[in-house]
Amino acid sequence: MEQDVVLARVFVPGHPRTKGSLKPLHVRGASGRPCKVGLTEDKATTRPWMLKIVRELIQADTRLLPIEPYFEPVVMHCFFRYARGMSVELAAADAPWPVMRDLGDEDKLRRAVNDALTKAGVIADDSLVIGGATFKRWTLAGEQAGVEFVVLPAPSLDAVLSMERALLGKPAAHKSDHGVRPRGCGRTINECRNCETQDCKPLPILDPSALSLGERDD
């Protein structure tokens, strides 16, 4: 699929909320019947926030695909924005980043968006999300608090490997797709995929398309 295809790109205004683990919910049985145990969100703010994300996805309908959920791997980039008054901690007034505990962990913030993508029918299951960037920051002048996120088809394996090696300081590998290798390289394709040497023409340090947000049609 084309790398510039955007499956969803939405801004959801409001106070970003986290999704934690489900907790047991005991319901007393009537007329001496045994208690029933179900599961519910660990915070009362989780469900309304997720429903808001689902509504925004359905109303925006920015997908360039048929109505059926997308069944292929995707990446999702999330940008959470907080107004300073959203934290009750005094340190929030001067802190350069919104790292107060009451604002939530980035992985749990992202989890709420992942689940909403499934409930809105954008993707078939949130296990299809293989990665992506997540950032938290304060709002700038004129901005609303909330989350803006974009969902894209997964990049090529070579793009991911190139980013991985650049960020982790590993040697660049050969170009493995379709068996394309530097001229004069006598290695097989499998040897090329596992190559850790630096004596061949390296891949680009970072493929910009790996983090591309795509073009937005306004």
Measuring CA to CA, which residue among 149, 109, 114, 147 is closest to residue 130? 114
| CATH 3.30.1330.70 residue spans of the chain | 8-154
Contacts of 176 (CB under 8 A, 6+ apart): 157, 158, 189, 192, 193
pLDDT averaged per 10 residues, the chain (length 218): 76 91 52 57 79 91 65 96 92 92 93 94 94 96 96 94 90 51 54 53 46 49
What is residue 170's predicted lDDT score, i.e. its pLDDT?
77
**Reported pTM:** 0.69
**CATH no., domain 8-154:** 3.30.1330.70
What is residue 185's predicted lDDT score, i.e. its pLDDT?
57
What is residue 34's predicted lDDT score, i.e. its pLDDT?
62
What is residue 77's predicted lDDT score, i.e. its pLDDT?
97
What is residue 5's predicted lDDT score, i.e. its pLDDT?
85
Strands (E), the chain: 8-13, 22-27, 36-41, 74-82, 129-131, 134-138, 146-153
What is residue 3's predicted lDDT score, i.e. its pLDDT?
53
